[in-house]
Amino acid sequence: MTVEIGKLALLAAETEAAQQTADLLREEGDFVPLENADAAVVLGGDGFMLQQLHAMLDERRVIPAFGLNLGTVGFLMNRIKRTRPLIERVARAQPVAVKPLCMRAHTQSGETREYHAINEVSLLRETRQTAKLEVHVNGRKRITELSADGVLVATPAGSTAYNFSANGPILPLTSNLLALTPISPFRPRRWRGAILPDHYEIGFRVIDPDKRPVAAVADQKELRDIDEVTVSIDTSRTLTLLFDKGQTLEERIVAEQFVT
């Protein structure tokens, strides 16, 4: 499958390697401002790619993104190689749809905020006191009291990140599932999380928030001292990542399960 690209924007992280690569790519061809582009070439690591995807969501103008890895892991990125012109690589790239989470959080002070997450939404204890959370799925109470360092909801795209480090499952990209994973759980002792359809809404209520304050984090955005949080897929917006043939995000998620 090819992608109709037309005009490309170039977005580079502030690192020396990203800036040097951007200078080399500008010699290959012309780039346009992001607002006029049909697709974006993103130079940096996974963190920088997430920043750019979030900016698209915030500005409500989402275009396909082709990443070139100049960071550490580069799970969302393509390899740097000079085998063919960049514009040809982007045109031949395989698109992968990524559906973001929407987190709605209410704080103790009465404030309500809404943030998006591409990888995961995490609820984390703010002090040495264990967090205590009530867990709801589609409006039904499933756990009366979860005692843990926290809990997270991960998308398939984010299931190999923090979720996997917390012993959560790796989800195939096309699975239409979410991972609900506790972080260092104490009670219930035997609960290790759940795999849920991605059209479900997951809710959390903080028990005794004054004594046991909890922060909610949507990828890189944090809101402290929360009372309640709901998490669901935002069906109104879909992100598109572009990958070289044979290097799709789905293949990487499958391959990650065989790393020893």
Is 162 annotated in some ligand binding site? yes
User: How far apart (Å, rounded) are the C-alpha atoms in residues 230 and 114?
Assistant: 10
Task: Calculate Rg over the CA atoms of the chain.
Answer: 20
Contact 173, 251 (CB under 8 A): no
Structure tokens at 253: 């998620």
Task: Tell me: is residue 119 an annotated ligand-binding position.
Answer: yes
**Residue 194 labeled ligand binder:** no
157 is in an annotated binding site: yes
38 assigned binding-site residue: no
Annotated binding residue at 110? Answer: no
How buried is residue 195: exposed, middle or buried, by Cβ count under 10 Å (0-12/13-18/19+)? middle
Among residues 23, 46, 210, 219, the one annotated as catalytic is 46
244 is an active site residue: no
Residues 203 and 230: beta-carbon distance below 8 Å:
yes
CB-facing half-sphere around the CA of 93: CA atoms within 13 A = 32
Q: Is 149 annotated among the ligand-binding residues?
A: yes
User: Is 175 marked as binding a ligand?
Assistant: no
Residue 36 known to bind ligand: no
Beta strand spans in 188-247 (E): 194-197, 202-206, 214-218, 221-223, 226-233, 239-243
Which residues are part of the catalytic machinery? 46
**Residue ranges at the known binding site for NAD(+):** 46-47, 119-120, 149, 157, 160-165
**Residue ranges at the known binding site:** 46-47, 119-120, 149, 157, 160-165
